[in-house]
Amino acid sequence: MSQSPSAATPSSRRTLLRTALTGAALTAGSWAWDLPSASATPRPNGKPRPATPAAALRELNAGNLRWRTRHERHPHESLAVRREMVSGQHPFAVVLGCIDSRVAPELVFDQGLGDLLTVRSAGEVLDEAVLGSVAYGVLELDIPLVVVLGHQSCGAVSAAVHAEQTGERLPAHIQYIADRIKPAIDHAQEGAARIDATVSAQVRRVRSQLASEPDLAPRIGAGRLAIVGARYELTSQLVHQVD
């Protein structure tokens, strides 16, 4: 996380952040397909920030529809927005995605500055830094939705499957990634189908690991947070949910 160029101490920055979020607090038990409340923090386009898991999911779905139908708006990039963002951020979704250059969350969901908190690791692999980054978005920025985003033709998943099949040892830090994808490998499939099935299985696995995190689970139970698994298809540019 980059540090603000200001001389603010961590504690004062934390206070500022909380102050900036006043009005965006979510109501316990608000999990429902309802619209964000009128008190939600306004976004640069004047629309309220999605304040419920369902509203956040709708916003991402709408953005992906624009992307895949070539009706992108590239929102929230203007100079005015850049200036407004100096004073704080109110992202409405965490996207935990792969590092793949073809699956940039802001592009495939057609979102802009201040909309998404993105965390990326090869194959969406979790480690302490990734977990801490997701938790920061949920607990400190009060974000109501986490999307675990896998994708078609994932090189990290391919490498993990290949390494298991051949017994070949990968360079150390890449082997670390492969070792963490390995439990998701779908042995019911062969060849390319195995890789594709493992992409989905890895999404499910990471999603359930996040959902069982002690800091996050109570929010899910209270309806203040949803963690969903999804895949991006390079062929169609569609993001769809992985159940």
Burial annotation 195-232 (CB, 10 A radius, 16+ → b, else e)? bbbbbbbbbebbbeebbebeebeebbeebbbbbbbbbb
**Binding of Zn ion at residue 55 (CB under 5 A)?**
no
| Cβ distance to Zn ion smaller for residue 199 or 225 | 199
CB 11 to Zn ion: min, Å: 37
Q: Could you say which of 59, 100, 142, 196 contacts Zn ion (CB under 5 A)?
A: 100
Tell me how far apart the alpha carbons of residues 237 and 103 are, in angstroms, rounded to a whole number.
Answer: 9
Is residue 43 within 8 Å of residue 75, measured between CB atoms?
Answer: no
CB 98 to Zn ion: min, Å: 3
CB 59 to Zn ion: min, Å: 24
CB 175 to Zn ion: min, Å: 16
Binding mask 132-161 for Zn ion (x = CB under 5 A): ----------------------x-x-----
CB 155 to Zn ion: min, Å: 5
Residues in contact with Zn ion, counted by CB under 5 A, come to a total of 4
| Cβ distance to Zn ion smaller for residue 98 or 146 | 98
Strand ranges (E), 161-204: none
Residues 6+ apart with CB under 8 A from 241: 228, 229, 230
| Cβ distance to Zn ion smaller for residue 149 or 225 | 149
Q: Could you say which of 51, 55, 96, 98 contacts Zn ion (CB under 5 A)?
A: 98
| Cβ distance to Zn ion smaller for residue 82 or 102 | 102
Quick one: which of 103, 109, 105, 28 has its CA closest to 68? 109
Is residue 48 within 8 Å of residue 38, measured between CB atoms?
Answer: yes
Say which residue the tokens 């500055």 belong to. 113
Is residue 142 within 8 Å of residue 26, measured between CB atoms?
Answer: yes
Residue 116: strand pairing partners? 93
CB 74 to Zn ion: min, Å: 24
Residues that bind Zn ion (CB under 5 A): 98, 100, 154, 156
